[in-house]
């Protein structure tokens, strides 16, 4: 156990240092591909880094004294989520850290006086309600097949998990836009201009405060694709192709769909969780004890 932790420690530390660069690069490629899909030239590939550098260089000007510790906690726990995942800690524990990170961002939004931020925070809570069952079911499904709740244990199982758990994988891909703040589920806040809530969750967050939120988002997107990788980990080629194709699929969905109302987001996420996720696991459960 302890030797496993020690073996995983370089990976976890590597994540802490490399995730901001990898996450920023993912965001940069995303913006470039999105621009090309729309027939535009698009920003430079490294634009997210320019944005972050600018945001962090601006004067710290929070709307209240609570905002900074809340947003900083959001960043710390977002990074900690990935750190613990790649350390091989029990994934069920990690879900609580992940929820804590999300709750801190919601609290930061609630702490501002902006009505846009408050509606954005309400919607973020609804999205959490929508995606959490599927996150838990993903881990339950991975355990059911591999008998492991830790990242490296699952990755070392050598099973073609995407073939064994197609419904669970579909459910995970369905909720990915919620965590990545992408259409059709970018109702709490959006990267794109002119959404009906102005900036929603991040309204009233400017300069370094917004920079921290952005950094936390990069940390999150890296470990999210880490979860996607688990489904393809049995084969080196699949391990590269699977997450890459999923990444481009999410960009395509982002560009091809309109933002849905919260009722549709909640209902569809739970329906997919129930039909694809539970439906996938039902035969496993019927065959024997979990």
Partner 1 sequence: MNKSTKGPAIEKSPWLIHYDASSCNGCDIEVLACLTPVYDAERFGCIVTGDPKQADILLVTGGVNNLNGPILRNLYAQMPEPRAVVAIGACAYSGGVFADCYNVLGGVAEVIPVDVYVPGCAARPEAILDGVVRAAILLAEREKAATAATASAATPTAATPVSTGGGK
> And the tokens for 63?
């709307």
Q: Any bridge partners for residue 260, and if so which? A: none
Quick one: which H or E segment has residue 199?
A: none
Indicate whether 44 belongs to the interface with partner 1 (CB under 8 A).
yes
CB of 15 to partner 1, least distance (A): 21
Residue 43 vs 279, nearer CB to partner 1: 43
What residue has token string 């510790």?
Answer: 69
Interface segment toward partner 1; rule CB under 8 A; list 192-200, 230-238, 243-251, 266-274: 192-200
147 binds partner 1 (CB under 8 A): no
Q: Which one of the spans 36-44, 140-148, 158-166, 242-250 is the region binding partner 1 (CB under 8 A)?
A: 36-44
Nearer to partner 1, 138 or 202 (CB): 202
Interface with partner 1, residue 113, by CB under 8 A: no
- Residues facing residue 195 across a β-bridge: 198
The Cβ of residue 99 has, within 10 Å, a number of other Cβ atoms equal to 15
Which is nearer to partner 1, 80 or 203 (by Cβ)?
Answer: 203
Residue 42 sits at φ, ψ, to 5 deg, of 90, 170
Binding-site member from 26, 161, 165, 203 for partner 1 (CB under 8 A): 203
Q: Give the shortest CB-197-to-partner 1 separation in angstroms.
A: 9
* Residues constituting the chain: 290
Told to check if 146 binds partner 1 by CB under 8 A, we report no
Q: State the Cα torsion 48-209-72-190 to the nearest 10°.
A: -60
> Using CA atoms, how far apart are residues 183 and 254, in angstroms rounded to an integer?
4
Distance CA 263, CA 127 (A): 10
Which residues form the interface with partner 1 (CB under 8 A)? 31, 35, 38-44, 47, 50-51, 53-54, 57-59, 61, 63, 193-195, 198-199, 202-207, 210
């Amino acid at each position: 156990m302890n030797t496993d932790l020690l073996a995983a420690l370089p990976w976890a530390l590597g994540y802490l240092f490399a995730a901001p660069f990898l996450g920023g690069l993912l965001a940069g490629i995303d913006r470039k591909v999105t621009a090309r899909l729309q027939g535009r030239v698009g920003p430079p590939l490294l634009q997210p880094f320019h944005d972050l550098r600018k945001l962090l260089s601006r004067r710290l000007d929070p709307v209240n004294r609570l905002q900074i510790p809340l947003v900083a906690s959001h960043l710390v726990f977002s990074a900690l989520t990935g750190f613990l995942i790649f350390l091989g800690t029990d994934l069920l524990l990690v879900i609580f850290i992940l929820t804590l990170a999300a709750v801190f961002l919601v609290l930061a939004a609630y702490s501002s006086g902006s009505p846009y931020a408050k509606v954005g925070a309400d919607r973020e809570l609804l999205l959490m309600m929508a995606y959490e069952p599927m996150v838990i079911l993903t881990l339950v499904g991975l355990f059911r097949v591999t008998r492991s709740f830790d990242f490296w244990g699952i990755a070392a199982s050598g099973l073609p998990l995407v073939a064994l758990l197609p419904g669970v994988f579909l459910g995970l891909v369905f909720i990915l836009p919620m965590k990545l703040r992408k259409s059709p589920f970018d109702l709490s806040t959006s990267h794109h201009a002119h959404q009906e809530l102005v900036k929603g969750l991040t309204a009233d967050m400017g300069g370094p405060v917004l920079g921290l939120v952005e950094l936390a988002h990069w940390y999150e997107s890296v470990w999210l694709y880490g979860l996607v990788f688990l489904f393809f980990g049995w084969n080196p080629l699949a391990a590269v192709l699977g997450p890459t194709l999923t990444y481009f699929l999410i960009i395509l969905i982002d560009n091809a769909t309109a933002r849905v109302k919260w009722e549709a987001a909640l209902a569809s996420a739970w329906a997919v969780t129930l039909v694809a996720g539970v439906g996938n696991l039902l035969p496993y459960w019927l065959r024997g004890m979990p």
